[in-house]
Structure 1
Amino acid sequence: MITQAHVEYGHRVVIHGKQVGYVQGQYFLKKNVDIQRDIYKKDLIKGLGK
């Protein structure tokens, strides 16, 4: 999956050259990295033990 920067970090909403709003980022990548970090570490330690 490719995460687009404007979705990850948020973006301005511009209509006719004027900013009319802002969409907050969803941080899909950061959330997934945070979830996977411990799992990856456990798998790495297990793999090195073989």
Structure 2
Amino acid sequence: MAKRIIYNEDARRALERGMDMLAEAVGVTLGPKGRNVVLEKKFGAP
């Protein structure tokens, strides 16, 4: 896969999208009503 190099506003928007995705993923575990999150990997024998 070829690498894309982006600058200025495009780079800032891409970083913001990535940070928003991360914040959504961990946001449910924070705060007084934090919920448990389970991550599962399906590979190999137990």
Q: Which has the higher contact order (CA 8 A, sep 6+)?
A: 1
**Shared fold (TM-score, shorter chain, > 0.5):** no
The normalised TM-score by structure 1 is 0.39
Between structures 1 and 2, the one with greater strand share: 1
Q: Give the greater-gyration-radius structure (CA).
A: 1
The normalised TM-score by structure 2 is 0.41
